[in-house]
């Protein structure tokens, strides 16, 4: 697999909008890529030396430095290191942004973010990397889910295996069974309203996010969002019906979670309030809330 890539221009533009960059802001970017995003941020902030981008791969760093220099951006700081460590010698930063899919927040980033600063991180969740837009205040990091995206996974300590299934088994001759008619209106493709949404219908994205909070078997299968029990079977829903393979009981479980999501008003990904706390710190789960325990942080969510 490739070690580095450039995101679609529409997604790059949307992420820059979400960051709310302005003149004079100092930015740390995790994942250098081609340097394209760093150059754009340098233009917005007005000073190349305000942009620090890091990458764990020496050949990517060498290429990024060369490309930036040839494009007229030789003073952007491109550092060869694991993004997990950040850049403490350059801190504090007004903004921290990751352009690679992470399984957790680094425990070092919050300390390198200025008070009142903003962090934009694609965090692994049921097969995708929704963008978490977080602000630093006196209680820690809090914010919301801004957009559903998909990124190349990070390497090193920020990658965690097994948070949610990353693939599923395709049946052979004993193919999947169509169990039921589709939920009314579910999965019907409409004009894309969320750049970077991987061409999914809005309700598929929103239900998939809820599904990932409710069940760690959640994931995206060819029919649509579903429950993936590995070699023991799966069930998934799409615009042409609900399908299952090996284990028909998963259909009832999936339908029950869909009814729960529907009874709650079909919350969209942007309807959740999110807090992050170190895993070793005491916490109170919000009433009618959810939690996702990652390696270094506990993610707490509630609606409203």
Output the pLDDT for position 194.
46
Output the pLDDT for position 196.
45
Residue 109, helix vs strand vs coil: helix
Instruction: With respect to residue 95, please indicate whether it lies within any of the assigned structural domains.
Output: yes
Cβ neighbours of residue 263 closer than 8 Å, sequence gap 6 or more? none
Question: Please, what is the end-to-end C-alpha distance for the chain in angstroms?
Answer: 40
Strand (E) or helix (H) holding 274: strand 272-278
- 69 plus 114 within the same structural domain: yes
pLDDT, tens digit (0-9, with 9 covering 90-100), for 158-187 = 999 999 998 888 777 667 888 889 999 898
> Above 80 in pLDDT, residue 126?
yes
**189 or 237: which leads in pLDDT:** 237
Peptide bond before 92: cis, by omega within 30 degrees of 0? yes
Region label for 35, one of left (φ > 0), alpha (ψ between -120 and 50) or beta (otherwise): left
Beta-sheet strand order (sheet of 51-55): 77-80, 51-55, 27-30, 93-98, 113-122, 131-137, 140-147, 272-278, 297-303, 290-293
Mean pLDDT confidence for 96-113? 97
- 130 plus 197 within the same structural domain: no
Instruction: With respect to residue 270, please indicate whether it lies within any of the assigned structural domains.
Output: no
Pairing of strands 218-221, 177-180: unpaired
Residue 209's domain comprises 177-263
Q: How confident is the model at residue 190 (pLDDT cuts 50, 70, 90)?
A: low
> Above 80 in pLDDT, residue 1?
no
Q: Let me know the angle formed at the C-alpha of 73 by 155 and 55, rounded to the nearest 5 degrees.
A: 10
Asked which of 20-34, 82-96, 185-199, 262-276 is least confident by mean pLDDT, the reply is 185-199
Instruction: With respect to residue 91, please indicate whether it lies within any of the assigned structural domains.
Output: yes
Output the pLDDT for position 199.
57
Output the pLDDT for position 105.
98
Output the pLDDT for position 46.
98
Output the pLDDT for position 166.
82
pLDDT, tens digit (0-9, with 9 covering 90-100), for 211-259 = 999 999 999 998 899 999 999 999 999 999 999 999 999 999 999 999 9
Output the pLDDT for position 4.
45
> Which member of 7, 106, 126, 197 is catalytic?
7
Residue 227, helix vs strand vs coil: strand
Please give the mean pLDDT across all residues of the chain.
Answer: 91
- 135 plus 183 within the same structural domain: no
- 97 plus 214 within the same structural domain: no
Output the pLDDT for position 10.
86
pLDDT, tens digit (0-9, with 9 covering 90-100), for 250-281 = 999 999 999 999 999 999 999 999 999 999 98
Output the pLDDT for position 222.
84
Measured distance CA(232)–CA(249) in Å, rounded: 11
Cβ neighbours of residue 17 closer than 8 Å, sequence gap 6 or more? none
Task: Count CB atoms within 10 A of the CB of residue 81.
Answer: 12
- Are 135 and 275 a contacting pair, CB within 8 Å? no
Give the max Cα distance, the chain. 61
- 181 plus 153 within the same structural domain: no
- 122 plus 200 within the same structural domain: no
pLDDT, tens digit (0-9, with 9 covering 90-100), for 198-212 = 556 789 999 999 999
70 is catalytic: no
pLDDT, tens digit (0-9, with 9 covering 90-100), for 9-23 = 889 999 999 999 999
Instruction: With respect to residue 115, please indicate whether it lies within any of the assigned structural domains.
Output: yes
The alpha carbon of residue 50 and the mean position of all alpha carbons in its chain are separated, in whole angstroms, by 25
Write out the E strands in 33-181.
Answer: 51-55, 77-80, 93-98, 113-122, 131-137, 140-147, 177-180
Cα–Cα distances in angstroms (integers) from residue 128 to residues 11, 123, 133, in the given order: 14, 8, 16
Buried b (16+ CB within 10 A) or exposed e, 54-72: bbbeeebbebbbebbeeee
State the CATH number of the domain containing residue 54: 3.40.50.150
- 19 plus 80 within the same structural domain: yes
Beta-sheet strand order (sheet of 218-221): 177-180, 241-245, 234-238, 224-228, 218-221
State the pTM of this model.
0.91
Mean pLDDT confidence for 28-49? 97
């Amino acid at each position: 697999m490739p070690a580095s890539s450039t995101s679609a221009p529409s997604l790059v533009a949307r992420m820059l909008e979400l960051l709310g960059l302005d003149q004079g802001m100092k930015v740390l970017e995790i994942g250098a890529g081609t340097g394209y995003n760093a150059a754009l941020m340098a233009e917005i902030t007005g000073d190349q030396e305000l942009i620090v981008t890091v990458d764990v791969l020496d050949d990517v760093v060498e290429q990024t430095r060369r490309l930036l220099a040839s494009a007229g951006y030789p003073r952007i700081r491109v550092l060869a290191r694991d993004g997990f460590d950040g850049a403490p010698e350059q801190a504090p930063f007004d903004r921290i942004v990751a352009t690679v899919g992470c399984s957790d927040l680094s425990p070092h980033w919050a300390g390198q973010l200025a008070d009142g600063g903003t962090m934009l991180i694609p965090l692994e969740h049921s097969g995708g990397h929704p963008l978490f837009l977080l602000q630093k205040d006196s209680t820690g990091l809090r914010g919301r889910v801004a957009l559903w995206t998909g990124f190349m996974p990070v390497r090193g300590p920020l990658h965690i295996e097994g948070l949610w299934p990353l693939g599923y088994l395709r049946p052979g001759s004993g193919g999947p069974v169509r169990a039921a008619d589709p939920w009314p209106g579910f999965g019907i493709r409409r004009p894309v309203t969320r750049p970077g949404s991987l061409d999914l219908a809005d309700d598929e994205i929103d239900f998939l996010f809820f599904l990932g909070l409710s069940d760690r078997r959640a994931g995206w299968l060819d029919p649509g969002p579903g429950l993936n029990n590995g070699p023991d079977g799966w069930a998934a829903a799409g615009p042409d019906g609900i399908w299952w393979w090996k284990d028909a009981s998963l259909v009832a479980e999936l339908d029950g979670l869909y009814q729960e999501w529907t009874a709650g008003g079909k919350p969209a990904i942007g309807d959740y309030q999110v807090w992050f706390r170190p895993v070793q710190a005491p916490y109170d789960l919000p009433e009618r809330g959810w939690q996702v325990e990652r390696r270094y942080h506990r993610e707490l969510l509630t609606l409203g």
